[in-house]
Amino acid sequence: MNNFKLLAVIAASLLSTLPSLAAEIGPRPAFLVDLMAEGPLKEKLTACIGKPVRKTDFSIGHRGAAMQFPEHTKQSYEAAALMGAGILECDVTFTKDHELVCRHAQNDLHTTTNILASSLANKCHKPFQAAQGDKKASAECRSAELTLEEFMSLRGKMDAANKKAQNVADYMNGTAHWRTDLYANAAGQLMTHKQSIELFKKLGVKFTPELKKPSVAMPHNGMSQADYAQKMIDEYKAAGVAPEDVFAQSFQLEDVLYWIKNEPEFGKQAVYLDGRYNVDGFDPMKPESFSPSMQELKDMGVNYIAPPMWMLVGLQDGEIVASPYAKAANAAGLKLITWTLERSGNMENGGGWYYQSVKPTINSQGKTYELLNVLAQDVGVVGVFSDWPATTSFYASCMGMK
């Protein structure tokens, strides 16, 4: 082997280890730190600026790096891993021929792909309708209406729609001003669930697939909900993935209990995504309103619970503190994961839905790290989903978190 070939082999070997080396986080963490109020936390984070940032399981790529890359695409996942995310998410749904694919919802193709501008638009459940008077522009296109081959012919785009549109082109051009289409045209490679497994293995990250609630009635052409839940786990088993590297998620408690009973090695880390904020009478500030209670969930075998960030925090004398929900989960021995950091855009006016329980204190993007610090240090979350994982990776690395 000549010297040139030897150098090429060494370079290839080093490149193959990149997922385990320092992350590339760009300028955003430093930008957020600069906007923080003066104090010990800002001093601590400032001292870490410019230092190597390592990959950490605390940093979870929410649909990849969805702030700027089309979600659930190869490019979005690769960007998230480069930013230090130690766990990546493939939301799992199915096609007409029951192949599992990565998509946030079974009925979101009209906002997350180019389907309306393709020859497959006539297969949409509800075709595009232009805005008229008070009626907003609309469409609905489902993965379950396409074969796998048809699904894979699409390209991902930034998840958005212009509800005032009079035509398809304008409807597809609705990306929020604080996001970007800079990477959308060059990116957008959709993925099957199996492909995501192989990519994540290559990137050296762990897996958090979310079994999405179908938009079609179940059973679907002979496939039951249990078949669907089992198929997702079977694809990890077939790929030789260790159960401890998989955090299967669902908003449906029945799915989580299915895994606990039928796939106990995977069920140990199954994550109950808590969407009970939509249930009448439920109040995260009043543990007596929880049904089932945190202890009842633990007794069922649930070990991980994942509510949105706002359910885990509240205000006390104007300061962000752990909520009664968080304290009840901790008392029951449940591990906490939360979502979603960096999904609110500009935060000068309260931060939106994800910050609703602490809205009076949110007046700057600099509050991002103040909230994250409470979640990590006071609430005790073990992982945070983020649309821009660099933000979370920087914090976790600076604070020495796993």
Question: What pLDDT score was predicted for residue 16?
Answer: 40
Instruction: Name the strand (E) or helix (H) holding 86.
Output: strand 85-88
Please tell me the distance from the alpha carbon of residue 272 to that of residue 256, in angstroms, as a whole number.
6
Q: How far is CA 103 from CA 92, 325, 383, 398, in A?
A: 6, 30, 21, 32
204: left (phi over 0), alpha (psi -120 to 50) or beta: left
Please tell me the distance from the alpha carbon of residue 204 to that of residue 252, in angstroms, as a whole number.
29
Average pLDDT, the chain: 94
pLDDT, tens digit, 9 for 90 and up, residues 191-226: 999 999 999 999 999 999 999 999 999 999 999 999
pLDDT, tens digit, 9 for 90 and up, residues 360-399: 999 999 999 999 999 999 999 999 999 999 999 999 999 9
Q: Given a cut of 90, is residue 13 above it in pLDDT?
A: no
Question: What pLDDT score was predicted for residue 158?
Answer: 97
Q: Given a cut of 50, is residue 12 above it in pLDDT?
A: no
Please tell me the distance from the alpha carbon of residue 104 to that of residue 87, in angstroms, as a whole number.
17
Question: What pLDDT score was predicted for residue 345?
Answer: 87
pLDDT, tens digit, 9 for 90 and up, residues 43-82: 999 999 999 999 999 999 999 999 999 999 999 999 999 9
Give every CB contact of residue 383 below 8 A, 6+ residues apart in sequence: 57, 58, 59, 60, 87, 337, 338
Lowest mean pLDDT among 2-6, 250-254, 388-392: 2-6
Please tell me the distance from the alpha carbon of residue 144 to that of residue 139, in angstroms, as a whole number.
15
For residue 333, the cross-strand partners are: none
Q: Given a cut of 70, is residue 7 above it in pLDDT?
A: no
Question: What pLDDT score was predicted for residue 21?
Answer: 56
Pairing relationship of beta strands 271-273 and 304-306 according to DSSP bridges: parallel
Largest CA distance in the chain: 73
What domains appear along the chain, each with residue ranges and CATH number? 19-106+189-398 (3.20.20.190), 107-188 (no CATH)
